[in-house]
Structure 1
Amino acid sequence: MAKNQVAPIKGMTLPQLELMAAVLGAHLGRHLLDELELERVVYWSDSQIVIHWLSSEKQQNKFIKNRRKEINDLTGSKHWRYVPTHSNPADLQTRGISAKEFEDNTLWFHGPPWITQPQSWPVWKECDTTVLSAIENTETENCSETAKDKRMEPTSNVMDIVQIERFNSYQKLLRVTAYVIRFVDNLRKREDRNQGKLTAGELQRAANMWIRDIQHNIYSTELECLRSRTQHHLIRQLKLYIDPGNMLRCGGRINNAPIPTDAKFPLLLPGKHKFTHLLIQDTHQRNCHAGTGTVVTLLRQRVWIPAARQIVRSVLRKCVSCKKVSGKPYLAPAPPPLPKDRMLDSEPFSVTGVDFTGELHVKSANGRDKKVYICLFTCANTRAVHLEIVPDLTEESFLRAFRRFISRKSLPKIMMSDNATTFVSAAENIRRLSQSVAVTDTLCQAGTVWKFIPKRAPWYGGYWERLTGITKDCIKKVLGCTYM
């Protein structure tokens, strides 16, 4: 006889689902006892956590407590035994097997081979099993162990003796503090006084004293709540507890990980304290001025800083060495007002900017590859565009394109361009031409003035540079690699 049930929609952990399966099995066993009048029923489970919960008398949360009481009322905790996963027939029902495998499956029809031999039943030992438990359930034990430990550091405030505001180096702060502690210890001794260079243990003791005093000043409310066993949002969020050294540590779910204790249960440090900033700066410098992500990862191997990434980023932003190498240049000043020539309400192309685009590949009359260029004329007021194809970038080619432009669009009053050699020569020719007697009469009313933008300042001609880029993009998208 078998029975299964669909897992609830509400998210539950695997141990909780295993406990729900134990409840289902307990009801099924009670039904068989009542209907078949059996004398004894043995319950098997492959979840060591469930068996631990059923056999343990520790206070659990409400979910586990209610279901454990229900199972014990139906079966009793002494009738539950452990079965390895590979010998559990119920796994075939939950995991599923093919019909062909089901026909010849002896585990489902007859059970494991040792089921009829009680002396061969597997034995579960609680001491051989590691059970993950929530920090809330162990806070009472940790607090009691802390109260029993009398070998704590004195509760004197080291911040009243060493002024941390006078230090800008984490290592220097620890060394000065270690020398102060050694001096106090030597005053208490008459013989075997400690002298010589500082040891790693003394530096670690100084760091722990600083962390302990900072925690007792900043997190005094949380410490009182832990000692009085009252709830607090930070304690619940970070699963805080007091270690035997009278320091606040953060809990988690990696109790059994093969890593150091400081990494599993990091010390809590406030993000805005000077000591935390010095620790971040020292970690950053000792690791070759590493970035924000690396520094945060290294810090979390020992301490937990709320909003660590923002705090680390604000400290690293002040690093002078990093600023010299990867600092951003000075921001460009705010752009000035547009010149008066571009704000006139005049006819199109009265103020015209001119520029060349990049080369285009075309086929000549004899079928050979040839380079041509586009000369772009744009109105500074209406942004109208006139394009002319020129065979090269010489002065003669531009003057012919300029003649075609003024034949169709009239003569501009102001021409603007960069300081390219072609435009400079053309401007000289136009200026020389306009000085002749024959042309002076024609251009006396609408003479062309050629203006150049400052050298090495292409942003002054941004309105034609932008249109030049748009024109090149359109041509490339339409033609691609095709020859004209």
Structure 2
Amino acid sequence: MREGLKKSNETDTVCVAVESDLPLFEFSRWSSFPKALNIVGWVLRFVGNCKASSLKAGGPLTYGELMKAKVKLLYCAQREAFAKEINALALSQPLPKGSPLVKLDPYLDEEGLLRIKGRLENAELSFECKHPIIVPGTYIALLLVRFQHGLLKHAGVAVLVSTLRNNYWIIRLRQIAKRVCRECVACRRCEAKACSQPVAPLPELRVKSAPPFTVTGLDFAGPLFCVDFPSKKLYILLFTCAVVRAVHLELAESLSVTDCNLAIRRFTARRGVPSAFYSDNAKTFLGASNLLKQHYGPMGPQWKFIVPNAPWWGGWWEHLIRSVKVALRKTLGTKTLSRSELETTLHEVEACINSRPLTFVGEEPDVANPLTPSHFLIGRSAGFPVELADDSASGYEIVVEVLMMI
């Protein structure tokens, strides 16, 4: 009876081995690759200092400790992502089918890291370049690419891929590099496109067929100087057609309302009275519009002003002012001209700008000559004479010949 009671009190002890799936290091808690290296380096130093037979290390982490931390960091990342592949390589077995490492021909080095074997064994390259470390495309790869992106002064995707491939073979590297460049605040700030509202349709006056300078925009440019009057400033009053984009340049004595009005009257005498003038809200143009109404009365042109403090509304004449200034700067350089020479140069610049092509200039030999503003003004490009087939040709034949050249 005692023996039976003894057996009933006996208990069996069972040992159960539990494999933990928790990672050794939580990479997702770290915001940068250097911080991850420092944390792993301090952990390794603590482990080393706990050993009785080892020398106690102190002070900041050394370069050797950081290199050991990097090896340990990549070692743990590979064990988490490629556990089956590492076990297969340790047992000299083929890699599992469907593994992302099948095409890379990996092997385990002396430190237990996965590297690419490759075919560059005899190349005159460094060991890291011939056999880069395989890095899984996880959070540790994201930290590494972010660090390289900042180290290379916010380089682009191509530069990141080419530089990282010298030491690491990161799975899905290009996708991670694109993500890093897309999420970088500095890159987004510098490469962001400016906000722009949808452009409104052009005014009706600018898109309807009309003779040259029917709708005209005007603006001043300058000042200019001449040797005749060294202390006097001269200005260019530019007129541009809103339809055919031709220009007309007048040399004005000053920015006064009187000189502006005289330049406008010289323009209308040679080009005809426009139906509408466009300009900015300069006081000179406000006064000239009133004088023009007094001079022409009800037959005068309509004067329209753009929105105040919005110079981009006049971009269709500001662009041509820039072309005039560039032509004068390249032609004159540091030369000083007389007033007559300066006025002649302006007229020549006007002819050159009116000879610019308005249509596409092709490279094929059978393509027709491009259309220019001069075709609408004089029937041909400026600077080239009209070739007549016969000296005895009638006036009608000459007009037909000119029109055929357009």
Q: Sort the TM-score into its range (normalised by shorter chain).
A: 0.5 to 0.7
- Aligned-pair RMSD on alpha carbons? 5.0
Change (3 A) 1:392 1:248: same
Provide the C-alpha distance between the structure 2 equivalents of 1:157 and 1:394, rounded to a whole number of angstroms. Answer: 89
**What does residue 308 of structure 2 align with?**
454
Is 1:404 the counterpart of 2:266 in the alignment?
Answer: yes
- Residue aligned with 2:80, SS: helix
- Residue aligned with 1:411, SS: coil
Provide the C-alpha distance between the structure 2 equivalents of 1:224 and 1:369, rounded to a whole number of angstroms. Answer: 91
Deviation at 1:249, TM superposition (A): 0.8
Paired residues for 1:43-442 under 5 Å? 168-170=31-33, 201=68, 204-216=71-83, 227-228=93-94, 240-250=106-116, 251=118, 253=120, 261-262=127-128, 264-270=130-136, 272-285=137-150, 287=151, 291-292=155-156, 299-300=164-165, 302-305=167-170, 308=173, 311-321=176-186, 323=188, 326-328=190-192, 330-364=194-228, 372-420=234-282, 424-431=283-290, 434=293
Provide the C-alpha distance between the structure 2 equivalents of 1:478 and 1:179, rounded to a whole number of angstroms. Answer: 70
Aligned-partner residue type, residue 320 of structure 1: V
Contact 1:411 1:446 in 2 (8 A): yes
Aligned-partner residue type, residue 267 of structure 1: I
Structure number having the greater helix percentage: 1
Q: Deviations over 1:290-329 (max 9, x none)?
A: 53588667645642236756743541342235555x4546
Larger radius of gyration: 1
Q: Deviations over 1:239-287 (max 9, x none)?
A: 643324554212454668696x5455221224x43321122223445x4
Q: Deviations over 1:370-398 (max 9, x none)?
A: 75332111121232322212233333321
Change (3 A) 1:311 1:371: farther
Provide the C-alpha distance between the structure 2 equivalents of 1:279 and 1:207, rounded to a whole number of angstroms. Answer: 11
Change (3 A) 1:212 1:389: same
Provide the C-alpha distance between the structure 1 equivalents of 2:241 and 2:272, rounded to a whole number of angstroms. Answer: 12
- Residue aligned with 2:183, SS: coil
Contact 1:225 1:231 in 2 (8 A): no
Q: Which runs of 5+ in 2 are unaligned?
A: 1-18, 342-406
| TM-score after normalising by structure 1 | 0.49
Q: Which runs of 5+ in 1 are unaligned?
A: 1-155
- Residue aligned with 1:332, SS: coil
Aligned-partner residue type, residue 287 of structure 2: E
Identity %: 29
Provide the C-alpha distance between the structure 1 equivalents of 2:264 and 2:215, rounded to a whole number of angstroms. Answer: 14
Change (3 A) 1:426 1:463: closer
Change (3 A) 1:372 1:306: farther
Provide the C-alpha distance between the structure 2 equivalents of 1:180 and 1:412, rounded to a whole number of angstroms. Answer: 84
Deviation at 1:175, TM superposition (A): 7.6
